[in-house]
Structure 1
Amino acid sequence: MSRPLPLAGVLRLGRPSDIWFKPALSVVAAVAPPNLGLLALGRLDLAIYTMAGSLCALYAHNRPYAARARALAWVVLGMLGGLAAALLAASLTRSAVALVAVGALLAAVQKVLCDATRIGPPNHVVLTFISSAALFSPTSLDRIPGHLGPAAAAGVWAWLVGMAPGLLRPHGPERRATAGALNATATLTEAHGRGQDTAEAHAAAAVAAVRAARQALRPAAGTSGTRLALERLVVLAEVALAAPADADPAALRARARQVRGNRPVPELADLTGVDSELAAHPGPLWHRIRPLAPLAVRVALGCALAGYASLALGVGRPYWALVTAASLYQADLALTWGRGVQRVVGNLLGVLLFAALVPLAHTGEIALVLTCLALNFGAEALIGRNYWLGSVCVTPMALLITEFAGFQEPGRLITERVVDTLVGALVGLAAAVVVPHRERVVRAQRAGPRTLAATGRSRPHPDQRTGNTTEGVRP
């Protein structure tokens, strides 16, 4: 018997991320110089293209800097590839039907590649928004280099912004992930004695935190003392996860405090299982893409139908419906439904915020740029608490971006955005029902037990513990 789809729970606010301000400040630092430069040159009409590159700064904040450098480079190249394909299609045809089909195919490719490479939030949604908007921006073949140039320059700047914190804290992401794993397992051990229901409520968070710490350490290059010490602390978290009754939460939290900042990481004795657990690497990219074929079909179908439904209703920007549909697809139907509810609620509240801000934004181009910067910061600061809350800022920002080339009638923008949001959500959910993707659900259900089994295998021998416990014993 299928469970009823939730409603109220999907709008509940979570705690903000420990580094919520970093992506928020990064995107402002990446967006502001290109846009202000274009404003000074009187070419704010090119801001849609510099925004394409600047928004790459949203990615890979939890990755070690060596891995972040590679990930951000691939994101910039992927953004440029999608933008180039969209501009080429827009220069070759003005058929809205054909452009929606191209947009749906690009969305499917972007979704599959982002999932297969585990690029992480904001996943494919930003790339799909950029390419879909470019499809409906009139252009010609001779103008494409002039559009890709500013996007590439802004992408390089976004890469530099993303890498800059490594100059001060070269192991910051690994330290944060390790501290998160220790704190999460400490919370689990504290809850273990308060009943099965209480412990189960924290088990998933602890499994996710330990897995996130492993992922953070896997791609880290070299065998520095800091990295090896962090690996051993992750094994301690794994031991506590496998046997919470034997762990000491106070000591785990003390270790987590020692890891933060730039202080030396506490050294531990070598632990059995550290190499086998942390040295594993994902399989070849093609092997990770093949199981995602049903997902690609679902995304392409949902986006195409959403775009065509928008066209049938006479909406001038069908790509908004296409992007709404593309943003919904999660690991299973319940999660997809939840994202749909969050998207609709956030967008509807966002158009109200747009209506309140548009008189200010229309006072001049500088006001327009500064308002967009404030919304960029707000979106990244809030989206970690719940997707709908971030969407309240994303929606007016997306609407204002369309005005970089010239102010437009607010009433029409609001009406079209509301219609496209509802159409995209309804059609996208229908496609999720028609094209199920059960393999990903089974894999997600098995991920937790596999992690627990792995942590049990990596448990150190008792004589490798210190004191009376196991040395103070993240999608």
Structure 2
Amino acid sequence: MADPQGAPRPAGFVARLRSLGALDLEVALRAALAAVVPLTVLVVLGRVDLAAYAAFGGMTAIFGRSEPYRTRVRTVTAAGAAQLTAIGAGILLSATDAPLAIEAAVLAAVIAVVIIGYNTLGVTPSGPLFAVFAVLVCAAQPVDEGSGWLRWGVAAAAAAFAWLLAMSGWLLRRAAPRRARTIFKPLPRQAPVRVRASADPRVWLNVVQNVVAALAAGGAALLLGIGHPYWAVVSAVAVIPPARAAHTVQRAWHRVIGTAVGVGVAGLVLWPEPPIWVLVVVIGICQFGAELLVGRHYGAALVFVTPLALTVAHLAGSAPLPVLLGDRLVETVIGAALGVAAVLAARRFVEFVPMPPPTVATPSIEPEEQP
């Protein structure tokens, strides 16, 4: 399998770790800055309660990896718009105390619009993970009367900063002396617009997979009375590969094992109740490490992703730490199991319904995927 730059990927986990020097440090650095800078501003202002909105807006910097800047301006702008729409929908659901049925309908709509839109505009990663995480967590955050616009404004400011970071390499590449330009990696990723993506049966199959798995995971968590049901939904969506990608259950195993280790790391970090500045530094380190590893080993990336997500949730919420860690672990298993079921069901469906040959998607985080 090839890495995001097209070079042969070394076999074995140890070999992959040894090859970290070949990864795009520029991408990891801008993702870390997009997470840390807005959070630092909120800490200075004494508004850590708005951390989740800044974090979701800052996820805009994750997109556009290794793309030429003429292409990146399209994909990153689309990703930022999707994040802000999802955040706004979550804030509105919370402010209006919307019933569960409405929240489920909005979740399904977000999944469908993001998958179709991203596949049409060539956005990578093309899955709905980040938007799903944003809409559900924001819907779960209490919104005081009249504070909705402030919360969305924080997200918009973080997204704008992330957009500037994503495009900053254009200026750096042109400002650097000719000899120094050799330190910059080429930008080979192609992200063509596919105007007929909405007519592709694989795209719609991906929509159905994600909607069914997400609703089933959320419903299971609610029926079992587990807190933070959005962890189950996010885990289910994270397991499902993008449209036009080969279907595999390996991601589910990576997610469960990586999350279990990550929960242990998060416990070691959060249990001593370190100062808030330490938590901000931890978020930056985790974001940096996740971006370095996600294209090489998904499970290893989750060791960084899980403490990242839990630290942000710890800053934004008031749940006891043991409850937070336990919910994350149990609901990851539930969501991953239902996500695997969706992958297997789709594989069986493809056996009976002729489909165009799949292509292997270029790996990315969350966030591909991180959360």
Tell me if TM exceeds 0.5.
yes
- Residue number in structure 2 paired with 1:443: 356
Helix, strand or coil: the match of 2:146? helix
Aligned to 1:381: 292
2:147 corresponds to 1:143? yes
Pairing 1:391–2:302 present: yes
Match of 2:271 among 351, 355, 359: 359
CA contact 1:346–1:389 (8 Å) conserved in 2 = yes
Question: What's the CA shift for 1:46?
Answer: 0.7
Q: Secondary structure in 1 aligned to 2:67?
A: coil
CA contact (8 A) 2:33 2:284 kept: no
State which structure, 1 or 2, has the greater radius of gyration over its C-alpha atoms: 1
SS in 2 for 1:336: coil
Counterpart in 1 of 2:321? Answer: 410
Residue pair 1:347, 1:421 contacting (<8 A) in 2 also: yes
Unaligned runs of 5+ residues in structure 2 are 1-10, 175-180, 364-371
Q: Deviations over 1:40-97 (max 9, x none)?
A: 1100111111111111111102111122122211111111111112222222235445
- Quick one: which amino acid aligns to residue 149 of structure 1? G
- The one-letter amino acid paired with 2:152 is L
Q: Secondary structure at the match of 2:226?
A: coil
With 141-150 and 50-59 compared, the bigger mean Cα shift is at 141-150
Distance across 1 between alignment mates of 2:200 and 2:32: 33
Q: 1:132 Cα shift?
A: 1.8
Q: Does 1:118 align with 2:122?
A: yes
Distance 1:377 1:422 in 2: 25
- Deviation, 1:152, is 0.7
Are the aligned partners of 1:24 and 1:378 in contact in 2 as well (CA < 8 Å)? yes
Equivalence for 1:154: 158
The question of 1:25 aligning with 2:25 is answered no
CA distance in 2, matches of 1:70, 1:286: 17
Q: Could you tell me how far apart the structure 1 residues matched to 2:256 and 2:84 are?
A: 29
Calculate the TM-score normalised by the size of structure 2.
Answer: 0.82
Which of 83, 87, 92 pairs up with 1:88? Answer: 92
Equivalent of residue 129 in structure 1, options 126, 130, 133? 133
For the pair 1:426 / 2:352, whether they are aligned, the reply is no
Whole-angstrom distance in 1 between the partners of 2:254 and 2:137: 22
Aligned partner of residue 443 in structure 1, secondary structure? coil
Residue aligning to 2:111: 107
1:17 is displaced (CA, Å) by: 7.6
* Other-structure match for 1:298: 209
Deviations 1:407-430 (A, max 9, x none): 542211111111110100111222
**Aligned partners of 2:115 and 2:126 also within 8 Å:** no
RMSD of aligned Cα (Å): 3.1
- Rate the CA distance shift 1:358–1:431 in 2: closer, same or farther, 3 A: same
Contact 1:20 1:384 in 2 (8 A): no
Q: Secondary structure at the match of 1:402?
A: helix
Q: Which residue of 2 aligns with 1:78?
A: 82
The aligned amino acid for 2:336 is A
1:64 to 58, 68, 76: 68
Matched to 1:176, the amino acid is P
Residue 311 of structure 1 corresponds to 222
Q: Name the CA distance, whole Å, in 2 between partners of 1:442 and 1:173.
A: 42
How far did residue 100 of structure 1 move?
A: 4.1
SS in 2 for 1:142: coil
**Partners of 1:325 and 1:425 within 8 A in 2:** yes
Q: Distance in 2 between matches of 1:336 and 1:75?
A: 25
Q: Is the 8 A contact 2:137 2:230 kept in 1?
A: yes
Offset at residue 333 of structure 1 (A): 9.6
Specify the alignment match of 1:471 in structure 2: none
2:186 paired with 1:176: yes
Superposed displacement of residue 11, structure 1 = 7.2
SS at structure 2 position matched to 1:316 = coil
Which blocks of at least 5 consecutive residues in structure 1 are unaligned?
1-8, 179-211, 217-280, 449-473
Measure, in 2, the Cα distance between the counterparts of 1:288 and 1:29.
Answer: 38
Following the alignment from structure 2 to structure 1, what is the Cα–Cα distance between the partners of residues 337 and 246? 14
Distance 1:327 1:11 in 2: 21
